[in-house]
Structures are given as C-alpha cells and as structure tokens.
Amino acid sequence: MTGRTIARHETAHAEAARLHNADAGRGMRRWQRRVSVAAVSCTALATLAVAAAATMAPFAAMAQTAALAGQRASALTPVPKAGPVAQPPAVASSVPSPVMAQAAAAAAGAVAFRGAGSGAPEVMTHGRFENIPIFRPEGEPNATVLFFSDDTGWTPRAERMARALADTGALVAGIDTARLMANYTKDDVACVYAAGDLDNFGRWVEAAVKLPGYTPPILVGDGVGGTFAYAMLAQAGNETFSGALSVDFCPVLPMSKPLCQGEGVHFARGITHTAGGAPMRLLPAPVMSAPWLAMGGPVGGPTEPTVRAPRCPDHVAQAFAARTPNSNWLVGGLAGSLGAMDASGATPARASPDASASSTPPPPSTPVLAGWLTQYKNAFRRLNAHHVAGTARPPAAVADLPVVEVPATGKPAAKMADTFAILFSGDGGWAGLDRDVASALSAHGIPVVGVDSLRYFWSARTPASGALDIDRLMRFYQTRWSRKRVILIGYSQGADVLPFMVNRLSPVVRDRVALLVLMGLGQKADFEFRMTNWVMSSQNGLPIRPEVERLPDGLAMCVYGADEDDSNCPGLDPRRVQLVKMPGGHHFDGNYAGLADAILQAASRR
C-alpha cells in the first residue's frame, strides 16, 4: 500500500475505535442513568469509610509513601493506585474527604465546593474517573483544568501543582494518571480513545459545578501525566481541549493498551502495541488542534519532597517541541536559567523576585521551588489567554436554559426558508454528533437552537415543564430569527424525552412543529441526570413507546443504527412513524451530513 493508503487505513481504524468507545459509553449511560437516593447514600457511606480508614493509616506507612513520592522512579511502567495517597500532617497536603453533606448534595444533583486554599478538596466520581479531588478557586473559574499526576500517584507534589493552578482562578480536577491508564486495561477495545472520555468528563465536571457555559478544558500534566496530556491533545479533534501544558515532558508513555493513532498520535516505527507495559515512544504530531507548552520541572536537593530528577534531559523535550506545530518549550527549574514570565507571556531580564530572598542568585543546585511555581503559574496564564472560546451565553430571555445558538451559514431551500430547528443533545452534553448535525443543518440555511441535555437535566425536569421550555424557545426564536416552523430534534436522551414534551404542547404550538426527529431512541426516558448514573442499570424510567403512539400520525421520524440492539425504532408502527435505518451503531458511523440530509428531506415533504 502507498503511504497515503496506509494513513487512510490508520485514520479509519482510529475513527472506528473512537466510535466504538463512544458507543459503549453512550450505551452504558442509556442503561445507567437513575439510582435511588438510598443507593447514593450507601455509596457515600462506603466512600466515607474508605476515606476515614486512609486517614487513620499508620504514620510510618504514610511517611514511606511520601519518601517514595520524592524519589525518581527508575522505570516507566505505571503502578495502579488505590486512590488519592494519604500524607502525614507534616507535609503541606490534604487528603480528599467526602462528607455526608456532599452525598446529600450529590443526591440533589449539586455539589458544594470550598475555595482553593489549604482546605480539603471535594471528591467526585464519574465512570472510570474515581475519587477525583476538585480544587475550586475563589469566585467564578476562568478556566477548567484536567490535571494529570506523574506515575507515582496522587502525591503532595501533584496536589501542590493542582492548587497552584486553582490560585490563578482555574477549576482543577486532579487525576491519578497511573490509575487511569490501568483502568483502560479492562476495556475490550483494539486501541484507546481516551480523549473522548476526558471530553465527557470535563463537560460533566462543569455541569456539576453549574458553570454558566461550557469551555473546553486545558490539560496540564507532570512527568508521565505531562506526556499523557500531550498525547490527549494530539489525539483529540478541533475545539475538544483549549491547550496543554506538560511539565518534565519525556516522549515515552507506559500504557498496556495502545492509543488510537489517527492524525495526531504517532509512535516510533515498529511500535504498534505496548503489551507488558513497554513504553510507547511518541513522535511529534503533524498537527496540533490547540497550543502545547512544555517546561522543565523544579530541581532541588534530596530534602525537598516535591522535586526530583528530570525524566529526560531538557534538550530532548526542547527538540520534540521544536518539531511539533503550535508548540513551545519554556525553560524552567533552575535559578537564573529563566525568570518568571508575566501574564502576557513576556520574559523579564531578571529572575523572579521570589526565586530567592537574597540579592545574590543561588547556585543551580539550590531548590528554587517558589520561583519555579511562579514560572509554572505564568506559563499556565499564557496558555489560558489563548484558550478555545466556549459556548456563548444565551440571550437574557432564555438565560436560565443551557442554550447554544448555531446561526445559519448557508442559504435555505425555498420550502425551508421559514424553518429553524431545536436540537436536544444526548446526555454527554453539546458535543460530537449533536454539534456536527447542527453544523450541517446550519450549512443548509437552517439555524439551530441547541439544548445541552447534560446541563438541562442536571436539575429534575418533568414532561410538563419540558413542554413549557420548548414553548418558550419556539416563541422566542420565531421572533428572533423571523421563522415560523420548527423542527424538533433529539438525540439519545434528548430523543427519549421529546415525545413526552411534544404531547404536552398546546395544539396551537404543536401545529407549528414541522417534524419531530428521534435519533437513537431508547426504551425508557429519564428526566433527571444523576451523579451515580454509571453505577447500576436504570429501572425507573418512563416507557417511551406509549408516548410515541400518542403523537399525531406522520409527525415523527425515528432514526436508528443498523447495529443498535436496544433501539425503540424498529418496533414502532411504520404507518404512523417514518423509520430510517442507517449504517453503524448509536453514532451512525459518524455520518452526520447524512443525518442532516435525511432530516431536511423529511421536513420538506411536510
């Protein structure tokens, strides 16, 4: 095969793996949405017991953990961790401490947070992301960060670096990288598309803290975590993440399953898998969707527990960054090698004033952690200044709803000139299929009002309240866009709930619905998102088929994938509901343009 053919096959393989992983996640979320408050309380009690046991661990064991954290690991093989590492009181660290108040807040669909000071962080669990400490700044966050620890686990160094970012105003989720990579060994997939999981987790975190809009996270990592952050940015598509910062970067990654390569993640020739934990040797990505910065770590003596020998010589990381587009290497770690950058990214001629209390620069072997932290914070500020734009805040009239406006970019067909669409996303939030279908409709001259279901259903809804919200959106955007007819579209959870809402619209409002499109329709509908929705199967949802059967004849179109095994579409009466079967599974093999074409053709016939 030619090089172009090989590249095309690799891209197709990565896309198939990405869709496979995404379908598995969507399928799991479809069956695991609702859990009783009693189950939530039991889970919280179990978590509390574990945290208490960790806190009461012998100080000798904790001292040993701290000592190991300060040493340089001699191998790159990741070691699975049981959770955040307990630390002795003498170290400036804290152990995440779930409390019953948090469990009550979780049951209500909300989480209370402390500031980013020295208090214990809150803890969240979502799918494979277990016991994640969350550091929230004072005031509204200016960014969301997914921070990846080194392969030594969640140590005082990891916590200090996470808190430093929270001090700059960022909301930070701390991830034990070794534990996360070990989790992927359980998956029955050819390759790992972890960027999709991180995208979903970032959206979930921002919804949990009820941020007013969504902004793609910034990835920051230390050591192996920094390499993982680079790989995730390279693997992800455009606008998935806002950028990445890698501390102590070395282009090797220890994973027992390979990453899906695609266009961004490439390995040295001959390395196609990592059985037994042999490290993947990464090559510079040909494209980077967002900026990547790399910098050295703090260097100091053996008495400083949060410094260590670098994984690679600086020149290795510097050369790698020089060969990677949209990337920069920032020198750091030794006193006098580079002063702190200011918020604009400029480098002053003199070293940071907090690098040393003396006017005489210390020798290179002297710990300069305080000065390094200043460099580290300013490197992050530089990256954050160029972050990917998040979703714009909705107009004041509908500001209480998680709305995303997608204006028309093309010219509509004559029959569609008076039509717009309202699209309820799947439970993963406004991303992927939802966003791409909306973009395709926009290109055909159909403006779209997107509703982020992850945020919308974070608070409990009912079919009646949902109908009122649709009524509001229809009336507002009929005036705003001067269009009378609306296509109501739902995907996954969005499709599940729409029949209930449409049946509760007034006849006058329902008459202006040109078409109801149900993509990836399930068996039962849930009107509330639970933080424990990945714990057990849902048995409490409302049956969907009776609601579909109540709809006016010919109003609905049900679209399903040929490989879906839990779709409600095939069992519906084709004389009353138009059935459209497409190749693929729950994501329709990524044929979003085909979905948009099917929607427009059906709407033009009504």
543 falls within a domain = yes
Residue ranges of E strands in 401-512: 403-406, 419-424, 448-451, 485-491
Neighbours of 441 (CB within 10 A): 32
In terms of domains, do 380 and 461 share one? no
Comparing CA positions, the residue from 587, 538, 577 lying closest to residue 557 is 577
Comparing CA positions, the residue from 326, 148, 149 lying closest to residue 232 is 148
Q: For residues 281 and 267, is the Cβ–Cβ distance under 8 A?
A: yes
pLDDT-derived band at 370 (thresholds 50, 70, 90) equals low
User: Mean pLDDT across the stretch 156-181?
Assistant: 95
pLDDT at 202 over 70: yes
72 falls within a domain = no
- Give the residue, 265 or 39, on which the prediction is more confident: 265
Comparing CA positions, the residue from 195, 184, 187, 204 lying closest to residue 15 is 195
**Final residue of a structural domain among 355, 384, 413:** 384
561 falls within a domain = yes
What would the 3-class secondary structure string for 353-408 be? CCCCCCCCCCCCCCCCHHHHHHHHHHHHHHHHCCCCCCCCCCCHHHCCCCEEEECC
The strand order across the sheet containing 280-283 reads 252-253, 280-283, 266-267
In terms of domains, do 366 and 415 share one? no
Is the full-model pTM beyond 0.85? no
pLDDT of residue 427: 85
d(CA 577, CA 567): 14
pLDDT at 391 over 80: no
pLDDT-derived band at 190 (thresholds 50, 70, 90) equals confident
Neighbours of 309 (CB within 10 A): 10
**Chain center to CA of 426:** 14
The domain that holds 467 is classified in CATH as 3.40.50.1820
pLDDT of residue 361: 38
- Expressed as residue numbers, the domain containing 316 is 3-29+93-384
User: Mean pLDDT across the stretch 263-287?
Assistant: 68
pLDDT of residue 591: 92
pLDDT at 432 over 50: yes
Q: Which two tokens stand for residue 223?
A: 């050591």
Residue bearing tokens 């904790």:
62
Q: 516 has which bridge partners?
A: 488, 556
79 falls within a domain = no
80 falls within a domain = no
In terms of domains, do 501 and 375 share one? no
pLDDT at 191 over 70: yes
Neighbours of 537 (CB within 10 A): 11
Q: Tell me how long the chain is.
A: 606
Burial class (CB in 10 A: 0-12, 13-18, 19+), 211: middle
pLDDT at 335 over 50: no
In terms of domains, do 307 and 410 share one? no
In terms of domains, do 116 and 235 share one? yes
At 439-474, the pLDDT tens digits run 999 999 999 999 999 889 888 899 999 999 999 999
At 40-80, the pLDDT tens digits run 333 343 443 434 444 333 333 333 333 333 333 333 233 33
**Final residue of a structural domain among 336, 360, 384:** 384
In terms of domains, do 528 and 594 share one? yes
d(CA 500, CA 511): 16
User: Mean pLDDT across the stretch 590-600?
Assistant: 94
In terms of domains, do 262 and 121 share one? yes
User: Mean pLDDT across the stretch 536-552?
Assistant: 81
d(CA 490, CA 502): 12
In terms of domains, do 341 and 406 share one? no
Q: For residues 156 and 306, is the Cβ–Cβ distance under 8 A?
A: yes
Of 51-65, 269-283, 337-351, 388-402, the least confident = 337-351
In terms of domains, do 170 and 207 share one? yes
**Final residue of a structural domain among 384, 412, 430:** 384
**Structural domain tally of the chain?**
2
pLDDT of residue 254: 86
d(CA 80, CA 48): 21
In terms of domains, do 367 and 416 share one? no
pLDDT at 95 over 70: no
44 falls within a domain = no
Comparing CA positions, the residue from 171, 86, 174 lying closest to residue 130 is 174
pLDDT-derived band at 332 (thresholds 50, 70, 90) equals low
In terms of domains, do 443 and 506 share one? yes
% of the chain beyond a pLDDT of 70: 67
User: Mean pLDDT across the stretch 581-590?
Assistant: 92
373 falls within a domain = yes
Q: For residues 221 and 247, is the Cβ–Cβ distance under 8 A?
A: yes
Highest mean pLDDT among 211-215, 405-409, 529-533: 405-409
pLDDT-derived band at 306 (thresholds 50, 70, 90) equals low
Q: For residues 436 and 189, is the Cβ–Cβ distance under 8 A?
A: no
Neighbours of 532 (CB within 10 A): 21
In terms of domains, do 143 and 181 share one? yes
The domain that holds 227 is classified in CATH as 3.40.50
52 falls within a domain = no
% of the chain beyond a pLDDT of 90: 47
Comparing CA positions, the residue from 149, 136, 188 lying closest to residue 23 is 188
pLDDT at 14 over 50: no
User: Mean pLDDT across the stretch 400-416?
Assistant: 93
